[in-house]
Structure 1
Amino acid sequence: MTLKTILAAAVATTVIASPAMAQDKSDWPDNFTVGTASQGGTYFAYGSGWANYMSEVLGISGGAEITGGPMQNMALVHTGDLKFGLTTMGPARESMEGNSPLAPGMKMDNVCAMFPMYQTPFSITTLSSSGIDSISDIPDGATIGFGPAGSTSDTYFPRMMETLGVDFERRNGSWSDLGTQLQDGLIDVIAFAAGIPIPAVSQLEVQTDVNIIGMTDAQIETITEKFPVSQFTIPASTYQSLEKPSQVVSMWNFAIANCDVPDSMVYEMVKATMENNDKMVSIHKAATTSVPENYDKNNVLPWHPGAARWFNENGYEIPEDKIHN
């Protein structure tokens, strides 16, 4: 697979900061780029803010690149076209095993975990005027937007909907574009998989009345038995439109690095991220769970040696056989 193929839909946006610290960076790259996802989604907001923060900490220029999301980020980081990215555990496992639809048969095993980010809840948004108040209300043939092609939502949500007996027409696009289409009546439902609060949902509920739909206990049981997800509660305070907590399912996200990135660089990045959660939360509220205690949620990717060094120094044991060598 060529870089041109992988990057066909990508557009770069760069966030640059002035040097903030002096140290030996002789083996570091001159700059770095973080693979995120589409605008209007949490990955882009989180990744852009983190890239800017790392630029300040490391004293080198860094940027965030719009991509197709976790699957594409795994491919780009594996090949070294991007040094860093964000991914979800489900797509990470499929990519590691050579089952990525972007590069069938390619085992993307040069991708290493850096630190835990947050859980990605799978939730549904409709216009209140649609009369759709639950998954069972979705009419046969409804058009559902599943986010960018190859994203976590696009990879898993259609399968979940089929498992729950929903008959639908599939639509892909950026979260912001799908939000506009929902508001204009061009699609019926958006099936979001993104950290909360999702920027596109927050924008939608300011402009119109929306229903944010959860899952029943029976639906959650059915989905958790078949997919690598767990039950998750979206607090009522997350959105103006929620009157009570919403029960859904979720999947963990981790920041990733090409395993060949210098250990000292990754160590400094992980140190700054894990030791300054207030700063991370100021970037995005989803970062409340970007804390070292959640390191054990990675059961898929090998750890980058630089990341493992920080965790082990701070009492979070990562065994040697879980570290890339």
Structure 2
Amino acid sequence: MYKAVKKIFFILGLGMAIPAVAANYTIGTGSQSGTYYPLGGTLAKIWSDNIPDFNMRAEVTAASVENIIKVATKKQLVGIAMGNVAQKAWDGNKPFPRQMPTEVLFALYPNVVQFIVPADSDIHTIEDLKGKKVSLGAPGSGTRVSSVNILNALGISESDIRSQSLNYTATTSAIANGQIDAGVIVGSLGVGAITELALTRNIRILSFSDQDLKKIQAANPSYQPLKAPQDSYKNVPAFTAPAVWNVLVVNKAMDKKLAYQLTKIAFENIDKIRQAIGVAKFMTIDNMTRLSGVPLHPGAQQYYKEHHQ
């Protein structure tokens, strides 16, 4: 026994270290049928493969609000969130109880606010939603924050409709089965949940009028009009809707070197990310600062400046 212990100390004395255990982290995403989840999974793999002793996995969540709270409380290392929700967190506005200690790593891609109805529905404008059964998104999701904000900007409150609180999958299922009159999904153009629904059901996506879009921008400057071409989904006519950029959020206390490393590795592997996720075509160094109201983390800012001398 003594000899065995003595041998161990001798080995350690020669500088042979016990292998370090890799740190495990999560990136907060959203529903598995949305874009956040596969994008988060791709980023997690890229980072895990290229950062020593670093393991990350994608976590299914209720998306933006939950992700920001978990990042703020250090229960997640990174989270994906809609820009308008990240702005509310930075400002300390509802649904957040106070200012959240979160900053942006970099912007990702624009999210489109898509109000879905059956193709033969008598709902043709946002005003027509009054009195109807409408899914506004899961509790704690950016979809719900966006849908409520947009309705409010147009003078429509939750009490004017029969609101439901369903996630992506439940929303499209309820539309397919005739359980609701309309549903909101805020996601990339071509998001999986709507793509799958359009393959089996005839649907439309409501188009916002120029007047509606001006009202929305006046109340929420982070939204920009986006014109979706015909057949963005199977047999769905062209439509115009408000869009807002998604961002990666991190805790402002994150180590500067780690934030720099995460940013650098993501952009050095951007071709792999784009091969896996189509909307990653919007992920560029120039687009890192698309959300002007929330600062980049100093580590990300350093990387940005190195490419914008």
> Into which bin does the TM-score normalised by the smaller protein fall?
0.7 to 0.9
Distance 1:74 1:100, change over 3 A: farther
Distance 1:92 1:210, change over 3 A: same
1:86 aligns with 2:80: yes
Q: Secondary structure at the match of 2:120?
A: helix
Structure 1 segment 111-150 matched on structure 2, within 5 A: 111-138=102-129, 140-150=130-140
Q: Which residue identity is paired with 2:140?
A: G
Match of 1:302 in 2: 295
Distance 1:313 1:200, change over 3 A: same
The number of aligned residues is: 286
Higher mean alpha-carbon deviation, 168-177 vs 234-243, is at 234-243
Match of 1:51 in 2: 44
Q: Unpaired runs of 5+ in structure 2?
A: 1-18
C-alpha displacement of 1:27: 11
Contact 1:27/1:262 (8 A) holds in 2: no
- With structure 2 as the length reference, what TM-score do the two structures score? 0.84
Structure 1 segment 22-61 matched on structure 2, within 5 A: 30-59=23-52, 60-61=54-55
1:259 aligns with 2:249: no
String of CA shifts for 1:286-306, please: whole Å, max 9, x gaps. Answer: 211111111231223232222
Distance 1:142 1:82, change over 3 A: same
Q: Which residue identity is paired with 1:129?
A: D
1:187 aligns with 2:180: yes
Match of 1:95 in 2: 89
Distance 2:94 2:72 in 1: 12
Match of 1:151 in 2: 141
Distance 1:159 1:309, change over 3 A: closer
RMSD: 2.3
2:282 maps to which of 258, 266, 289: 289
String of CA shifts for 1:92-129, please: whole Å, max 9, x gaps. Answer: 1222222243x51x3212x2211110111112111113
Match of 2:65 in 1: 71
String of CA shifts for 1:28-71, please: whole Å, max 9, x gaps. Answer: 97121001122222222221222122222225321111222212
Contact 2:68/2:89 (8 A) holds in 1: yes
Distance 1:177 1:74, change over 3 A: same
Distance 1:283 1:295 in 2: 20
Q: Which residue identity is paired with 1:70?
A: S
- With structure 1 as the length reference, what TM-score do the two structures score? 0.80
Contact 1:57/1:272 (8 A) holds in 2: yes
String of CA shifts for 1:132-166, please: whole Å, max 9, x gaps. Answer: 3443443x311111121132221131232244355
Higher mean alpha-carbon deviation, 51-60 vs 197-206, is at 51-60
Q: Secondary structure at the match of 1:288?
A: helix
Higher mean alpha-carbon deviation, 128-137 vs 41-50, is at 128-137
Identity of aligned residues (%): 23
Match of 2:169 in 1: 176
C-alpha displacement of 1:237: 5.0
Distance 1:66 1:100, change over 3 A: farther
Q: Which residue identity is paired with 1:184?
A: N
Contact 2:106/2:289 (8 A) holds in 1: no
Q: Unpaired runs of 5+ in structure 1?
A: 1-25, 317-325
Distance 1:141 1:310, change over 3 A: same
Distance 2:21 2:251 in 1: 13
Match of 1:9 in 2: none
Structure 1 segment 201-220 matched on structure 2, within 5 A: 201-220=194-213
Distance 1:236 1:280, change over 3 A: farther
